[in-house]
Amino acid sequence: MYIMLKDKTKLVIWPVYLDGTKSRGEGRILSMKDAVNKGIIAHEFLAYCLAMTYQFLVRVGVSPEKLRFRQHMKDEMAHYAADCWDAEISSDRFGWVEVVGIADRTDYDLKAHAKQSEKELNVYVSYDTPRKVEKFLIKPDMGVLGPIFKGKAGKVANALKALKSGDFSGDVIEVTVDGEKININKDSVKFETITEEIHGENIIPHVIEPSFGIDRITYALLEHSYFEEETKEKADDEEEGKRIVLRLPPEVAPVQAAVLPLLSREELVKPGMEIVNKLKKSGILVGFDDSGTIGRRYRRNDEIGTPYSITVDYQTLEDGTVTIRDRDTMKQVRAPIDDIENNVYALIYRRKSFEDAGKGI
């Protein structure tokens, strides 16, 4: 089946046909909790992984409307998996593409490692309240087994202790030691049922495997962020106001702020470089561009996804303010240099509104 998350707590679910295609019609809206309770998603932690994967992909720039999760059908499920979901992203060029696989591998991995390494790979989990349980014990008589099996006696005894009450019947008990089947007379062991107070148990942890295809994700977010649009803002000698803009989320943009002196003159370049250094010290990925007209520089930064362009002009020399331009809306505000690094940092990482970045111009 398919699900499309509305946010990290709710999902829309569609059944799928046997050929794997989605059925038509409206989906059902469920909470993640209900999806787990109804057995649609195997358990809470798997649902958590789906929700966190959704949150990550949307946060880096994947369009929520082009993102879905597809559950593996029984005939394609890996032999070790109890449940498996693929995050799929819609691409204009390639259609729906798997970018993340999230598999519940149960305890298969650690059991396999324990078998090969002959090391216990379990963890002790304490109970909140001790429990009383009846325990069936098999006690091998080493005085009998020792002379018969000599060096193998210890392995034979361990094989006997691992048996349960329903594992044998009759007067002969059969165990396998080092691939060899061995028959043991029932008189060589003693049986006992005891009541124990249990304070916890050893369990083999299950493995959840989220596997991310970073190259596919990168391609998808570039495709989902790429726009060609007409605009009233023209770049210098453009006959028509058209621009290419890469609307990457500010926190993942390779250049988060560009400092642009209005002219490549020392009196404007110097304060521009001071702003660059202040932004770098705050951990902001910053570029400096004084080549060509300001309109062309805006366009270049729109194309590479720079969310904020900071223009140093002659008013800067008078009152210590700069122009901050927003990539997506092309709006501009005037803001002081003194706190420019904190101002831009808040725009990028704290979702500060652009209008609050300074007074409108």
pLDDT number for residue 18: 37
Q: Angle 79-84-87 (CA atoms, 0-180°, nearest 5)?
A: 140
**CATH number for the segment(s) 231-360:** 3.40.50.800
**Helices 153-161 + 142-149 axis angle, to 10:** 130
Other Cβ atoms closer than 10 A to 137: 13
3-state secondary structure of 309: strand
Could you give the residue range(s) of every CATH 3.30.720 domain in the chain?
A: 123-201
- Per the CB < 8 A criterion, the answer to whether 104 and 82 are in contact is yes
pLDDT number for residue 1: 60
Other Cβ atoms closer than 10 A to 169: 9
**pTM of the predicted structure, to 2 decimals:** 0.75
Q: Which fold has domain 123-201?
A: 3.30.720
**Helices 266-281 + 340-349 axis angle, to 10:** 50
Could you give the residue range(s) of every CATH 3.40.50.800 domain in the chain?
A: 231-360
Specify the length of the chain in residues: 361
pLDDT number for residue 13: 65
- Per the CB < 8 A criterion, the answer to whether 63 and 224 are in contact is yes
Query: What does DSSP say about strands 226-230 and 208-212: parallel, antiparallel, or unpaired?
Result: unpaired
Mean pLDDT by 10 residues, the chain (361 residues): 68 53 58 86 92 93 91 87 92 93 94 90 92 85 85 85 78 84 85 87 92 95 93 63 92 97 96 97 96 94 97 96 96 94 95 80 39
**How many whole angstroms separate alpha carbon 261 and alpha carbon 289?**
8
pLDDT number for residue 168: 76
**How many whole angstroms separate alpha carbon 112 and alpha carbon 121?**
10
User: Which stretches of the chain are assigned E, i.e. beta strand?
Assistant: 2-5, 10-14, 28-31, 67-71, 83-91, 95-104, 123-140, 172-177, 180-185, 189-203, 208-212, 226-230, 242-246, 257-261, 286-288, 308-312, 321-326, 332-336, 359-360
pLDDT number for residue 246: 97
Is the sign of the CA dihedral 215, 221, 224, 228 positive or negative?
negative
**Token pair for residue 169?**
């019947």
**Residue matched to tokens 């082009």:** 66
